[in-house]
Amino acid sequence: GIQVEQSPPDLILQEGANSTLRCNFSDSVNNLQWFHQNPWGQLINLFYIPSGTKQNGRLSATTVATERYSLLYISSSQTTDSGVYFCAAPGGGGSEKLVFGKGTKLTVNP
């Protein structure tokens, strides 16, 4: 099945800084989703982005399917951006499941 790897595993920022989170996947995909898990455990869907670039406020994401990676950009970070960011891609082989990376834990300090 597909392997999904995220980097860096941990990231500490000062409020106002920008950051880039990376997601590499081992096989071609037709779907890539980014999630933010808040401190209460809820996974919030940030982007459904099989290819191209999307923006939502201070967040944007780019997926380059041919090169098997996706990037999540966070600009002017805020303390509320803290949490764990996951990317997920289809498992492949006819499996209708999402395979999640291990996540990037982001801490934004005031």
Q: List phi, psi (to 5°) of 79.
A: -60, -30
Residue in 22, 62, 73, 91 binding other proteins, rule: CB under 8 A: 91
Tokens of 90: 């289809």
What is the side-by-side order of every strand in the sheet holding 19-25? 4-7, 19-25, 69-74, 59-64, 52-56
Q: Residue 40 or residue 57: which is nearer to other proteins going by CB?
A: 40
Interface segment toward other proteins; rule CB under 8 A; list 16-24, 58-66, 75-83, 93-101? 93-101
Q: Contact positions toward other proteins, by CB under 8 A?
A: 30-31, 33, 35, 40-45, 48, 86, 88, 90-91, 95-103
